[in-house]
A and B are shown apart, each in its own frame.
Chain A
Amino acid sequence: MNEVENPYLPKIAILDRVVDEIKDVRTFYWHFEDQNEQLKFKNFLPGQFAQISVFGIGEFPASLPPSPTEEETFFTIRTVGSCTDAFHKMKAGEKFAVRGPYGNGFKMDSYAGKNLIFVAGGIGLIPLRSCIIYALENRQKYERIQIFYGSRTPAELMYTNDLKKWGQSAGIECYLTVDRATDGWKGNVGVVGSLFKKPNVQMAIKNSIAFVCGPPVMFRFVIKDLLEMGFNEEDIVSTLERYMKCGIGKCGHCCIGSAYVCVDGPVFTYKQIKKLGEDI
């Protein structure tokens, strides 16, 4: 069977180091044992995902937070179930396995010449980080880049090093907000949508693509705000999460409406999401 490519066969990966992000969320830097696999994998697109194997526990899908333009490969994972719990217990030097990349990814090239508006809530920044870094690496391709990011508390803001950089760089507008101000937070307090109409914010609406990722409640409200502000449904893009076993359109778990999220998604426009007819 080995001469035919086996799409279910994961490739051995080695964990390099683990960094705590926020409560229950860690970033795992890793590389493939086989250098060729690493090179093949590095062709991924922002918005794609991979299947991570923790042998004996199982396999789970995870977004790819790095941009393909970055050197290192890493996952940012929240503990939510048996696989992610087991993954969190892994230490640098230990082995696991990865398959992928899978899914359609964001069509970053087709957004050239447009304003990119990133709206993220909580760990919704994980898949969007890839696009943001990619867009910054290809800065001349895009018009304005605006980031709106909110979390429950200041301690739950992710990727703080990146946020600091984005806050200080010219050519990016990065706005942060928290639901509850603690730890001497001096920034905005309120949901992500509350940032859109702040006097210091000039939101780009015409010729813009809005990337929206976050918890379902946030998603619903942000969509409502964006539509009211004049965004087209096809100019709002997001990624869907579903229970998945294979990642290659066979196991059937992620099938909604006329799409298999793993191969037809996980990136969909809001117009498509509405048609699929299931909760985000």
Chain B
Amino acid sequence: MKARIIEKDDVLKIVDLLREKYDVIAPFLITGRDTYFDTVTDSNRKDIKLHLPNPFYPPKRYVFPHIERLMRIKSNNNNIDIIVESDVKPLAIFGIRSCDLAGIGHLDRFYLGNAYRDCYYEARRKKLFLVNMVCTEVGVDITDDCFCLCTDTGPAAKELFDLQLMDLGKVYLVVAGTQLGEEFLSNPMFKHATEKDIELRRQILSEVRKSFKDTTSWFSATVRYISRGSVLEETWEEIGRRCLECGGCTYVCPACTCFTVTDRKIGDGEIERMRIWDSCALGGFTRMAGGFNPRKAVHDRRNRRFYRKLAHYFIQRELSMACVGCGRCAAVCHGDVGMPSVVEMIRRATAKLDAK
């Protein structure tokens, strides 16, 4: 392994180096659990934090923006011009967590891997440089909601990063995952890592893995129950009763892909066609013109959400569950029907049935 080390005081030099070529996004702390990703500027550079709870608003939006213009349409005397503009700048995300990285991997396979390629996603993705930060500080990086161990997406990502950083106590260990990352490591500020550093990485990760909360998520049983359709209607009803239909779980999810498209007027004879994140938790998600809605009840919508995320059919299609174990849905859900709770509810109720 061509691992390098960098002194703790020098780690932000990576950001400086990146800023020569990229707009750089990094995590910041307001206070306590309140954290966010933002663009690095000269004035906020010193406030970048590498150890902090993962921001609720996921960095997914830098490849799949919350609101994005698809095209502008100019009409003039029955003459219609459709204008597609691309102003995608190279972007680096410094300090993206392993779960969010797995989320981008899922989006890659979904938006670029099926019959049609999403060119808007592709344009952003191609210019993205990812610096992964391994979660090592229990209680800070890793909260009670985290369950990446169960989704096999963390705490240290195995792929998709250009560079990976890990805190070894006195220094950061830096590993390249791509050719681009490799080239980056040729900078003299990176020193060669020793066998000892690698051994320390192994030890720390081993300890970190043991410190996840006991009540982790039992996906395999639930994937099986959902895939074969043996989850009881009453379990879905219970999940539905607890859902407040706020859509929060979908907006914080690094693996959710749904969007709606809407036209809006922006000037004289000019409109823009926008795409905006949408949520299957909301009642209007499947309502057709004329009012017919094939999914009426809340529990029906929840059923579809978890089926879409966990059914074997889709796991085969996208090569991963549409869950990366970040725990955001668990943290934001007012009704405690985030992914880990739902997995647990389904497993318990259905296992009981199996035992009979």
Contacts and interface: CB of A to CB of B under 8 A. Distances in A.
B278 A263 contact: no
A61 to B, nearest CB: 10
Nearest to A258: B313
Nearest to B229: A277
B290 A80 contact: yes
Contacts of B350: none
Given A246-B261, A252-B280, A7 B84 contact: no
Interface string A1-12: 110111111101
Contacts of B304: 255-256
B286 A243 contact: yes
A250 B113 CA distance: 11
A148 to B, nearest CB: 24
Given A60-B289, A243-B288, A252-B278, A97 B263 contact: no
Contacts of A228: none
Nearest to A240: B294
A55 B78 contact: no
Contacts, number: 123
Interface string A94-116: 11010000000000000000000
A9 B116 contact: no
A56 B263 contact: yes
Given A6-B84, A7-B116, A278-B294, A1 B123 contact: yes
A4 B258 contact: no
A81 B84 CA distance: 27
Contacts of B285: 243, 253
A83 interface: yes
Is the contact region of chain A dominated by helix, strand, or loop, or is it mixed?
A: loop
Counting chain B residues whose Cβ lies within 8 A of the other chain, the interface size class is 35 or more
Interface string B91-124: 0000000000000000000110011111110110
Interface stretch (B19-27, B69-77, B159-167): B69-77
B334 interface: no
24 contacts: A1-B119, A1-B123, A5-B119, A6-B84, A7-B118, A8-B119, A8-B273, A12-B82, A56-B263, A57-B263, A59-B261, A83-B289, A242-B294, A243-B289, A246-B259, A250-B116, A251-B275, A252-B257, A256-B294, A256-B304, A258-B307, A258-B313, A258-B314, A278-B295
Interface of A: 1-2, 4-10, 12, 55-60, 80-84, 93-95, 97, 241-243, 245-246, 248-258, 263, 277-279
Given A58-B262, A249-B115, 13 more contacts: A1-B84, A1-B119, A2-B84, A5-B117, A7-B118, A8-B71, A8-B120, A242-B286, A248-B115, A253-B278, A257-B307, A258-B307, A263-B114
